[in-house]
Amino acid sequence: MKIVSQIVKTASCSVDKKIISKINYGELILVSFNRNDDEKVVDKMIDKLLKMRIFPDENGNTNLNLEQMDGEILAISQFTLYASFKKTNRPSFIECLNHENALTLYSYFQEQLSKKYKKTKFGVFREHMEISLINDGPFTVILDSEEI
């Protein structure tokens, strides 16, 4: 599982030119699953996501987590995070979890993240979405389940 997290001043997700989700200060996260992921991996990644101390304290040091900042989350499914260009110029998605299992795991991710952090909004799985954001910093980090 991979999560790309960006600190944002604001972010929104539109489908068919209509805004379906919008947040103010917090994190825009892009979420992807690979063939080896399961609910245990999702639980571990949610825990890490919510404990990350990536927000500045009063001295400007990255020392605070999302809850301490009273921030929001906008989570977007993005299978392309597992694209591979090894030996090719065209992306291969062989490492991605198939869409049926990814939908099941993403639904579990939505349910668990919403339970653990109420200020969470989502995009729509397998929809063409337009994401707008004002990145703050910019500050972007990548969480990879194989590294935590």
Cβ atoms within 10 Å, residue 4? 18
pLDDT at position 47 is 98
What whole-number distance in Å separates Cα of residue 68 and Cα of residue 74?
17
Residues 6+ apart with CB under 8 A from 8: 23, 25, 26, 27, 28, 74, 133, 134, 135, 136
Domain of 56, CATH number, reads: 3.50.80.10
Task: Select which of 33, 55, 79, 109 is catalytic.
Answer: 79
pLDDT of residue 130: 98
Q: Which amino acid is at 1?
A: M
Domain that holds residue 42: 2-144
Q: Name the DSSP class of 134.
A: E
Confidence of residue 88 (pLDDT cuts 50, 70, 90): very high
| Residues in CB range of 71: below 8 A, 6 or more apart | 25, 26, 27, 55, 119
* β 72-77/120-122 pair status: parallel
Number of domains forming the structure of the chain: 1
Q: pLDDT at position 143, please?
A: 98
pLDDT of residue 37: 97
pLDDT band at 99 (very low <50, low <70, confident <90, very high): very high
139 is catalytic: no
Out of 6, 33, 55, 78, the active site residue is: 78
| Residues 110, 113: Cα–Cα separation, whole Å | 5
131 band by pLDDT with thresholds 50, 70 and 90: very high
pLDDT at residue 11 in the model: 98
The pTM score is: 0.96
- pLDDT of 133: 98
Q: Is 80 a catalytic residue?
A: yes
The pLDDT-based confidence of 49 (bands split at 50, 70, 90) is very high
